[in-house]
Amino acid sequence: MARLVLRGRGASHSRVVPAHRDQSEDRAGPPSGAGPAGAAPAASAVAHTWEIRLPAVLETLGLVRTGLRRRLGQLAWPDDAALDVLLAVNEAVSNAVEHAFPPGAPDGTVEIAAEVEPVGGRRRLRVRIRDTGRWLPRPVPEPDVNRRRGLPMMTALMAEVLIHRGGQAPDDGTTVTLLSPSVPTL
C-alpha cells in the first residue's frame, strides 16, 4: 500500500509517502496548517461539500460532469478554473471506470467527494475519487490506442494529484485526490 504524490504545474518530483499517513489524510479534514492558527474550527473550514456515488459505467462520466458543473456554478468558481476541475475529475473517473473493475464485476461503484478548502486567503477544491477496485494504469500502451494522457492531464491541470492504491481487501479500492489551484474567495 503506497501513496503516490504527483506535483502539478511543472514541478518535477514525485514521492511515495509511508502508508501510515494515509488514514489521517483520507479523512479529508481541513488541511493542517491552512489558515491562521486557531482562527477556524474544523466545521467552518469546509464551506461546501458534495458527494455522489455512481455505478462504474461509461454513462457515469456525463452525470458526474453535469453535477459538478452545477456545483461549480453555485460556488461561482471562475470559468477557466472550473473547466480544469471538470477535465481532471473526468479523467480520474474515466480511469476508475476503465481500469478498476475486472470484466464481469457488475457492482462496482465510483464515489466522488468534493469540498472547498480555504488556503492562504483564497479557496481551492479538494476532490476525492474513490472506486472499489484496483486502479492499475496499463504498464504497456496498447498499439494505436494512444490513451496515456489521463494522468499527465490531471497533473497539468491540478496543483496536486495523490493516488492511493489499495491493498488486497475486496473493497480496498483506489482513491485519487485532486487539489485544484486556488482561486479568489468570493
Partner 1 sequence: MPRGRLDVVTGDQAPAAEQLLRVELRRMGVAMVLTVAGEVDMFTAPRLEAAVGRSLADAAVDVTVVDLTRVDFLDDAGLSALVTAHRAAERQDEPLRIVVDHNRPVVRPIQITGLERVLALYYDVAEALGEPHGSGG
The reply on whether position 46 binds partner 1 by CB under 8 A is: yes
Is 8 in a helix, a strand, or coil?
A: coil
Are residues 71 and 116 in contact, defined by beta-carbon separation less than 8 angstroms?
Answer: no
Is 66 in a helix, a strand, or coil?
A: helix
Are residues 174 and 130 in contact, defined by beta-carbon separation less than 8 angstroms?
Answer: yes
CB of 100 to partner 1, least distance (A): 13
Binding residue for partner 1, selected from 152, 167, 184, 185, defined by CB under 8 A: 152
Instruction: Pull the grid cell for residue 41.
Output: 474550527
The reply on whether position 51 binds partner 1 by CB under 8 A is: yes
Binding residue for partner 1, selected from 5, 63, 165, 172, defined by CB under 8 A: 63
The reply on whether position 147 binds partner 1 by CB under 8 A is: yes
Are residues 128 and 175 in contact, defined by beta-carbon separation less than 8 angstroms?
Answer: yes
Q: Which of residues 84 and 117 has its CB atom nearest to partner 1 in the complex? A: 84
| The 3-state secondary structure of 11-59, one letter per residue | CCCEEEECHHHHHHHHCCCCCCCCCCCCCCCHHHHCCCEEEEEEECCCC
Q: Which of residues 20 and 42 has its CB atom nearest to partner 1 in the complex? A: 42
Q: Which of residues 31 and 150 has its CB atom nearest to partner 1 in the complex? A: 150
Q: Which of residues 139 and 142 has its CB atom nearest to partner 1 in the complex? A: 142
Residue 10 DSSP class: T
Binding residue for partner 1, selected from 15, 80, 102, 169, defined by CB under 8 A: 80
Binding residue for partner 1, selected from 10, 12, 15, 59, defined by CB under 8 A: 59
Residue with cell 456515488: 53
Binding site for partner 1 (CB under 8 A): 43-44, 46-55, 57-63, 65, 67, 80, 83-84, 86-87, 90-91, 94, 97-98, 144-147, 149-150, 152-153, 156-157
